[in-house]
């Protein structure tokens, strides 16, 4: 039985320009919505897990008729309207958001200075966030991690959340979230599964990025949409390390539809 379907938004369920009714080629397509309909017909809960802000995902989930979502790359889970922070010792306090606390640590300024020309704020989507500092550019996350630890910011990590497109964005650039080290999409997916009583074999996750791929550690099967591997060929080695990862032939919403229909056809 398929009970839980965890779906990334940008680069996965959504097509160009963040549209749920546009396919990878920019043409009108309802395949992403048909995937959600197929889940509803068998009683499988769809949960969005995304790097987007809580306020944005609130409206996205409401528009799509969904009751739960994971926001800011796993930093928080909203389940039936109830918010749970998954940021460890980082919690809103004394009028300061977690975003404010990370900024006050000096870590964002350090990264922008050390990787000038290779990393910048992902304007305008870096504004109004509760937790993560959102950047775009092209850096080695392992190199960044070593710098953070060496400079006394071991409680933070930089997450690669997939490729970005748009005006003023260099080809091949990626989106990065600076978040508390204990937070991740995988942990948030696992927490939702625990709350619902879902077993791993009853759940799948679908995404396009390295951070999305981490959900393979907690669900029965992870599906990587075709455009994820096309935009980041280095994911191939990460895929090879996991036996429960499957590759979609289709991109974006069509890939989500392919994953859902295949799972249902195979009798999960």
User: Tokens at residue 113, please?
Assistant: 């200075």
* Residue 164, pLDDT score: 84
Q: What are the mean pLDDT values of the chain's consecutive 10-residue runs (268 residues total)?
A: 96 95 96 98 98 97 97 98 97 97 98 97 95 97 97 97 79 93 98 98 97 97 96 92 97 98 89
How far apart are alpha carbons 256 and 206 in whole angstroms?
7
Domain range summary for the chain, segments of one domain joined by +: 4-86+183-265, 98-180
First to last CA, the chain: 5
The helix or strand, by DSSP H or E, that contains position 246, with its residue range, turns out to be strand 245-247
* Residue 3, pLDDT score: 98
Return the percentage of the chain with pLDDT > 70, whole number: 99
How far apart are alpha carbons 215 and 185 in whole angstroms?
7
User: Tokens at residue 32, please?
Assistant: 């992403």
- For 4-86+183-265, which CATH superfamily applies? HAD superfamily/HAD-like (3.40.50.1000)
Interval 92-147: pLDDT, tens: 999 999 999 999 999 999 999 999 999 999 999 999 999 999 999 999 999 999 99
Q: Residue 240: exposed, middle, or buried by beta-carbon count in 10 A (0-12, 13-18, 19+)?
A: exposed
Are 130 and 53 contacting, i.e. CB atoms less than 8 angstroms apart? yes
How far apart are alpha carbons 59 and 197 in whole angstroms?
26
In which order are the strands placed within the sheet that holds 156-163? Answer: 119-121, 133-137, 174-180, 156-163
* Residue 59, pLDDT score: 97
How far apart are alpha carbons 50 and 163 in whole angstroms?
13
How far apart are alpha carbons 131 and 133 in whole angstroms?
7
Three-state DSSP class for residue 245:
strand
Where helices occur in the chain by DSSP H, the ranges are 31-42, 54-64, 98-105, 107-114, 141-150, 185-196, 210-213, 226-231, 235-240, 252-265
Domain 98-180, second-level architecture: Alpha-Beta Complex (3.90)
* Residue 167, pLDDT score: 63
Looking up tokens 């895929």 gives 239
């Amino acid at each position: 039985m398929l009970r839980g379907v965890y779906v990334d938004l940008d680069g996965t369920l959504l097509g160009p320009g963040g549209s749920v009714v546009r396919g990878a080629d920019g043409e009108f397509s309802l395949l992403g919505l048909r995937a959600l309909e197929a889940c509803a017909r068998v009683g499988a809960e769809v949960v969005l897990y995304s790097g987007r802000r809580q306020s944005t995902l609130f409206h996205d989930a409401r528009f799509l008729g969904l009751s739960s979502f994971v926001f800011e790359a796993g930093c928080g889970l909203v389940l039936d309207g109830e918010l749970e922070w998954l940021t460890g010792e980082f919690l809103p306090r004394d009028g300061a958001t977690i975003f404010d606390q990370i900024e006050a640590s000096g870590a964002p300024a350090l990264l922008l200075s050390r990787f000038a020309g290779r990393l910048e704020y992902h304007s305008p989507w870096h504004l109004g966030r509760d937790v993560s500092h959102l950047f775009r550019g092209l850096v080695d996350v392992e190199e960044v991690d070593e710098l953070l630890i060496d400079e006394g910011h071991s409680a933070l990590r930089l997450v690669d959340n997939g490729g970005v497109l748009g005006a003023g964005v260099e080809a091949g650039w990626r989106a990065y979230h600076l978040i508390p080290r204990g937070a991740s999409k995988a942990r948030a997916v696992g927490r939702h599964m625990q709350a619902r009583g879902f077993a791993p074999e009853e759940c799948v996750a679908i995404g396009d990025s390295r951070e999305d791929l981490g959900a393979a550690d907690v669900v029965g099967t992870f599906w990587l949409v075709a455009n994820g591997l096309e935009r980041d060929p280095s994911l191939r080695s990460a895929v090879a390390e996991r036996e429960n990862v499957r590759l979609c032939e289709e991109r974006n919403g069509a890939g989500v539809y392919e994953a859902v229909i295949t799972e249902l056809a195979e009798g999960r």
